[in-house]
């Protein structure tokens, strides 16, 4: 009786990683990226849905990643660095035709920046300047 009990539990525990992997795949599959003319909307979640938006003119930099396991299937990841405080980095995972999509996105970002007359400016300072700035002394 005890061996039957343990074999049932061991069988269940052996299936847990497969259920977890399936849950992660489903989460990636249900993540939707909607590009409008001015925004990127990100819908994510399996049971509870979360919707984030990033203004395209806030995109500072783009990066294309091609991990081995994605290259096998002709997929890649597009990573966006943004100046948005709530979403400083956006990972668009498992994208087909990543090079073309990244280039279209980059062109749309530049078009919007020209249209809105917006430029990204980064301020770099030493530690002493940053302390004074944070304290509101500058």
In a domain, 18, yes or no: no
Q: Is residue 31 part of a domain?
A: no
Total number of domains constituting the chain: 1
Q: What is the pTM of this model?
A: 0.70
| Tokens linked to 94 | 């498992």
DSSP summary character for residue 46: S
CA distance 65 to 54: 21
**pLDDT at 30 (0 to 100):** 82
Structural domain contains residue 78: yes
Read off φ and ψ for residue 70, nearest 5 degrees. Answer: -85, -35
Q: Give the confidence band of 1 by pLDDT, cuts at 50, 70, 90.
A: low
Task: Output the pLDDT for position 126.
Answer: 59
Write the pLDDT tens digit of every residue in 68-117.
999 999 999 999 999 999 999 999 988 999 999 999 999 999 999 999 88
Q: Which range marks the domain in which residue 73 is found?
A: 56-119
- Residues contacting residue 42 through CB under 8 Å, at least 6 positions apart: 31, 32, 33, 34, 51, 52, 53, 54, 87, 90
7-13-18-20 Cα dihedral, nearest 10 degrees: 160
Asked if 80 and 64 count as a contact pair (C-beta separation under 8 A), the reply is no
Domain presence at residue 130 = no
Residue 69, CA atoms < 13 Å, CB-side half-sphere: 2
Position 136 scores a pLDDT of 43
pLDDT digits (tens, 9 = 90+) for 22-71: 888 887 778 889 999 999 999 988 888 899 999 999 999 999 999 999 99
Residue 28 CA: distances (Å) to CA of 24, 42, 54, 88, 122 = 6, 12, 19, 20, 33
Is the pLDDT higher at 8 or at 35? 35
CA separation for the pair 38, 56 (Å, rounded) = 6
Question: Looking at the domain assignment, is residue 65 inside a domain?
Answer: yes
Measured in whole angstroms, the distance separating CA 113 from the mean position of its chain's CA atoms is 22
Using the 8-state DSSP alphabet, how is residue 41 labeled?
E
Q: How confident is the model at residue 138 (pLDDT cuts 50, 70, 90)?
A: very low
Whether 3 maps to a domain, the answer reads no
Residue 33 covered by a domain: no
92 inside domain: yes
């Amino acid at each position: 009786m005890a061996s039957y009990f343990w074999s049932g539990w061991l069988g269940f525990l052996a299936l847990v990683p497969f259920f977890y992997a399936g849950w992660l795949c489903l989460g990636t599959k249900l993540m939707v990226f909607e590009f409008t003319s001015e925004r990127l909307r990100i819908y994510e979640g399996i049971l509870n849905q979360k919707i984030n938006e990033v203004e395209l003119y806030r995109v500072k930099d783009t990066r294309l990643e091609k991990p081995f396991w994605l290259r096998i299937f002709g997929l890649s990841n597009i990573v966006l660095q943004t100046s948005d405080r709530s979403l400083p980095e956006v990972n668009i995972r498992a994208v087909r035709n990543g090079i073309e999509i990244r280039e279209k996105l980059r062109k749309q970002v530049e078009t919007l920046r020209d249209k809105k007359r917006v430029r990204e400016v980064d301020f770099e300072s030493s530690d002493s300047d940053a302390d004074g700035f944070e304290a509101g002394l500058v």
